[in-house]
Chain A
Amino acid sequence: MTPSDPTVWLFLVLVAPAAGAVLALIPLPRVSEWSARLAALVTLAAALALLAIAPSEQWGSYLGIDQLSEVFLVMVAGIYTTSTWYSRRYLRAVSHPYLGVSTYYALLAAFAFAMVATLVVSDLGLMWIGLEATTIASALLVVLERKPTSVEAAWRYTIIASAGLTIALFALILLYGATGTLNIFRLAENPPALSLPIQMAIALALVGYGTKVGLFPMHTWLPDAHSEAPSPVSAMFSGVLLPTALYAFVRVYRILPSPPVALSDLVLGFGVATALVAAFLLQRQRSFKRLLAYSSMEVMGLAVIGIAIGGVALYGALILLVAHAFAKSAAFYCAGNVLQETGTTRIEDVRNLGSRAPWTGAAWVLAAFGVTGAPPFGTFLGELLIVTGALATGNVLLAAAIVTAIAVAFLGVNSQIGRMVFGGGSFENPSSTGHRLSERGISVAYLNVGIALALGVVSLPYLTEAIRAAATLLGGSVP
């Protein structure tokens, strides 16, 4: 075995988070923390190595990767690493946590392992197991802060996401009945003929996996879980869990090389409804964490639209997902700092961050621009390509709906975060002008904002090429 052998890196990308989960259980906080950090770094290194050396590889009937899974692996490993780093600062400020430090890091690593496993398996049944395992590993993380609302959010998340996934499993049963295999590589080599069971399976998979993606109207768990979870976990939820669930759906959706119009219209309908509903709902949010959660939902809607349209829009959807993962995680790290320093998630109660916490405030403004598709972030490029793809179909109404969702979400998120950073304290809330806030741990937010920015302005080694290859693999086109 040599470093150029993909098997070594596949082994590491799977074993590192699993080992991190086990080692983190050692009841010494510093050992747990560093085990988790080391595991995250090894996972990231292995994901990057796979991206660099193995465009596509299969190991037996159950394991296999291609450029699509590699792009998602880098996202998962990247956000897992920065969340692990940010967690130290966050955990120190949580009083009376429900979980000990060791349990927290063990569950965080198990959560990452479940996502990584979802991405490196080539069997749709195992992929389903991996995605369901993310629910088990992450549900307890939501209750870290021991609030009644977090327990309720964890419950809703578990029961709604699991109910959705049982629908997805029903879809897989129908798919297996129609094709006789669940191996994605075999299905790609011999695409099944269009039939009613396959169309029904894809429609059910859309509803089932769509529940975990946060598509309207199955999204109800999303704002609760994202807002109640500790910020490093919210970053992983928004940044990589939702895209991982979308990845599982794409694997089912793309077993048909050219899905029938009725099916792509169904997917498109869910995407448009999700983007529009989320964009308008986020205007009404009073909590900055829920604001970010609805923004994630809007981006997932846009990505689904891109996948349904295909062509350059599909390429745009992939860029959007990657850039959004890094920008949104940065936004949640900033939100974590602000929450812990001010003790509130109410937008009205946070003012003047620009002078009270200038580094956090600046990072938050940049991250907000990043998540809402301001140029020159990667999200801007992704959204532009999705709109271009929509216009290329000749459907002006669709393009108008997409632009509306993007514009409304842009205004909603940036105006609210702008008020918190640049707005002065009010007469009703004199404390909002208060003391200077600690800015520990904010450097990871800058790192992630930088990656989201770089995706829009330069060609990142291996990653940009892999995104292009993944889009082509899915039948999209690259400008």
Chain B
Amino acid sequence: MLATDQVVALVGVGILLTALYLQAESFVAPLIPTIALQSLLLAVLLGWLAWTEHSVDLAVVAGVVVAIRGIGIPWVLRHQIKAFRWKVREIHAAHRVTGHALAAVALAVIAWFVFEETLGPVFPSPAYALPFVLLVQGLLMLATRSNTLVQVIGYLEEENAIVYAAAILVGGFPLLVEIVVFLDVLGVVLVGVILSIQRDVTGTLEEGQEETLSG
């Protein structure tokens, strides 16, 4: 029988690897199954915690993560790619894949170090720093990528970091189910509504292809 700390560490390594792969890939299509895989790994962890701690809330959250982030939003993203077939590779990122990958690794190390220095004494295992590392990876993706679909994936990664943190750092959180559902509604709004408007009005998903927003 695995101990909870072992499961947290094992799944954490898997999630970290998906996060690093997301940074280093310039094609949009492979990012979609990767973020779905990350969400499913998170759901496995949530399911394990729900079972061992007899938490209905965590079980519901695991179900929501599978349904919306593991299946629903990736399905919508795949359809968006079909609508923008000529934009399946992010032009800017393609020239900077090595730099992105190195920055992602460096930032992961820094985030882990900051967490251990500030909160390490409070938490029993180094694996508990991983939600913070994942949060920083999501931010890096948002900051460095210009393709809207990739930014949505960065945002989903941040959402995963929040659920991950709520589950392992504090063993559940008031209103967790409501917040997760709310975050996913926002995710669907982002993907479904704004991307559609963007497609209708501008015909592009990459920033910098449009009129500049300046004084």
Chain A contact residues, CB within 8 Å of chain B = 98, 123, 125-126, 128-129, 132-133, 135-136, 139-140, 143, 146-149, 151-156, 158-160, 162-163, 166-167, 169-170, 173-174, 176-177, 182, 196-197, 199-200, 223-224, 227-228, 284-287, 290
B46 to chain A, nearest CB (A): 15
Which residues on B sit within 8 Å (CB–CB) of A159? 142, 151-152, 155, 190
Chain B CB within 10 Å — which of A128, A146, A151, A227 has the most? A151
A349 to chain B, nearest CB (A): 13
Contact A176 B213 (CB under 8 A): no
B161 interface residue per 8 A CB criterion: yes
Which residues on A sit within 8 Å (CB–CB) of B189? 136, 139
Binds A, one of B20-28, B29-37, B55-63, B172-180: B172-180
Q: Which residue of A lies closest to B148 (CB)?
A: A155
Contact B174 A176 (CB under 8 A): yes
Complex Cα distance A196/B179, Å? Answer: 25
Contact B210 A170 (CB under 8 A): no
Q: Which residue of B lies closest to A140 (CB)?
A: B193
Complex Cα distance A152/B147, Å? Answer: 12
Complex Cα distance A170/B159, Å? Answer: 10
Which residues on B sit within 8 Å (CB–CB) of A129? 175, 178-179, 182
SS class of chain A's interface: helix, strand, loop or mixed?
helix
Contact A170 to B142, CB < 8 A, known contacts A125-B174, A148-B211: no
B100 to chain A, nearest CB (A): 17
Contact A197 B135 (CB under 8 A): no
10 contacts between A and B (CB under 8 A): A126-B175, A129-B182, A136-B186, A140-B194, A148-B202, A167-B135, A173-B165, A176-B174, A223-B213, A284-B215
Contact A98 B197 (CB under 8 A): yes
Complex Cα distance A126/B178, Å? Answer: 9
Binds A, one of B4-12, B64-72, B79-87, B115-123: B115-123
Which residues on A sit within 8 Å (CB–CB) of B207? 152, 156
Contact A177 B169 (CB under 8 A): yes
B186 to chain A, nearest CB (A): 6
Chain B contact residues, CB within 8 Å of chain A = 118-119, 121-122, 131-132, 135, 138-139, 142, 148, 151-152, 154-155, 158-159, 161-162, 165-166, 169-170, 173-175, 178-179, 182-183, 185-186, 189-190, 193-194, 197-198, 201-202, 207, 210-215
Contact A176 B201 (CB under 8 A): no
Which residues on B sit within 8 Å (CB–CB) of A177? 122, 169-170
B41 to chain A, nearest CB (A): 19
Contact B138 A125 (CB under 8 A): no
Which residues on B sit within 8 Å (CB–CB) of A227? 213
Complex Cα distance A153/B155, Å? Answer: 17
Complex Cα distance A166/B173, Å? Answer: 15
Complex Cα distance A290/B135, Å? Answer: 31
B80 to chain A, nearest CB (A): 13
A35 to chain B, nearest CB (A): 23
Which residues on B sit within 8 Å (CB–CB) of A166? 135, 138, 155, 158-159, 161-162, 183
B205 to chain A, nearest CB (A): 10
**Lowest 9 A-B CB distances belong to which pairs?**
A286-B215, A177-B170, A285-B215, A148-B202, A166-B158, A125-B175, A224-B213, A148-B210, A151-B201
Complex Cα distance A286/B213, Å? Answer: 11
Which residues on A sit within 8 Å (CB–CB) of B148? 155
Contact A152 to B213, CB < 8 A, known contacts A126-B175, A177-B170: yes
Which residue of A126, A153, A197 contacts B213 across the interface (Cβ within 8 Å)? A153
Contact B175 A162 (CB under 8 A): no
B171 to chain A, nearest CB (A): 9
Contact B155 A162 (CB under 8 A): yes
A326 to chain B, nearest CB (A): 26
Which residue of B121, B138, B194 contacts A154 across the interface (Cβ within 8 Å)? B194
Complex Cα distance A196/B170, Å? Answer: 15
Additional pairs, 13, CB under 8 Å, beyond known A140-B194, A163-B142: A123-B174, A125-B174, A135-B186, A136-B185, A146-B201, A152-B210, A160-B142, A162-B155, A162-B186, A163-B158, A177-B170, A200-B119, A290-B215
Complex Cα distance A166/B135, Å? Answer: 8
A291 to chain B, nearest CB (A): 8
Complex Cα distance A338/B214, Å? Answer: 19
Complex Cα distance A223/B213, Å? Answer: 9
Contact A149 to B210, CB < 8 A, known contacts A136-B185, A182-B174: yes
Which residues on B sit within 8 Å (CB–CB) of A174? 119, 169
Contact B190 A196 (CB under 8 A): no
Contact B173 A125 (CB under 8 A): yes
Contact B197 A158 (CB under 8 A): no
Contact A152 B202 (CB under 8 A): yes
Complex Cα distance A132/B122, Å? Answer: 29
Contact A196 B122 (CB under 8 A): yes
Complex Cα distance A414/B114, Å? Answer: 45
Contact B210 A173 (CB under 8 A): no
Complex Cα distance A169/B169, Å? Answer: 13
A254 to chain B, nearest CB (A): 20
Which residue of B122, B162, B182 contacts A170 across the interface (Cβ within 8 Å)? B162
Which residues on B sit within 8 Å (CB–CB) of A126? 175
Which residues on B sit within 8 Å (CB–CB) of A284? 215
Q: Which residue of B lies closest to A195 (CB)?
A: B122
Complex Cα distance A173/B212, Å? Answer: 38
B83 to chain A, nearest CB (A): 15
Contact A132 B186 (CB under 8 A): yes
